[in-house]
Chains A and B, each alone.
Chain A
Amino acid sequence: MKNRLKVLRAERDWTQAELARQLDVSRQTVNAIETGKYDPSLPLAFRIAQVFQQPIEAIFDPGGSNGSSPH
């Protein structure tokens, strides 16, 4: 699943660690989502949308792929 996490994070000048802290996940989780290796759960996707104050569909594109997804 393709996503705009990296772009949105960079627009706010946040590091992966800062975003991870806000989402209450590990930095590796943020990194794996950004690189498309891992698709977040629905609750985490909602938290991401809340943090960036954007609708989920503006962040995640179920049609695309950032890389090899484990799902």
Chain B
Amino acid sequence: MKDAIEQEAPLSSFGCSTPRDRQNQRRTNLWTFAWISVWLLMTFGFKEGILPSGPLAFLLVAATVPLGIAVVLAHRKFLREADELRRKIELEALALSVGVTLVGSFTYWLMEAAGIVEAAELDKIILLTAGSYVLGTILGFRRYR
């Protein structure tokens, strides 16, 4: 009886997942990788003038949208089927991310209006969103360890 309690190996920071979670996570990562790869290639193509501009460019950009939708659907499936503690951690991290992004964006735009910083850039806001989400996930895993 004592063995079952005392011989537990320490929990790793990212041990909060079932085999199904890991499979869904891999699927989400693959779609995300595909989407980002196409996005990077297109960005490079447009900047270097390899890809055409005008109406054809609009069609090429529109073609990336289904990949983006696949990322969203894969992530939704992951969240719906996730281990319930994992889902709680992910949702708390997403809530933190949305809050930080909103407050950060409005503060940034206010600073821009005050002339403290130059024009607000989208990439900084995306970094803030992604960074706060990762931080929220790490904090969640530590909290429930």
Contact = CB atoms under 8 A, between A and B. Distances in A.
Contacts of B47: none
Contacts of A11: 1
Interface residues of B, number: 22
Contacts of A41: 84
A12 B145 CA distance: 23
Contact of B15 (A10, A24, A27, A70): A27
Interface stretch (B3-11, B23-31, B95-103): B3-11
A29 B7 contact: no
A38 B85 contact: yes
A12 B126 CA distance: 49
**Closest 8 interchain pairs by CB?**
A28-B16, A29-B85, A26-B83, A32-B144, A10-B1, A10-B4, A26-B16, A10-B5
Interface of B: 1-5, 7-8, 11, 15-18, 21, 83-86, 88, 141, 143-145
Given A28-B145, A37-B143, 9 more contacts: A10-B5, A13-B3, A15-B8, A26-B17, A29-B85, A31-B8, A32-B144, A44-B84, A70-B144
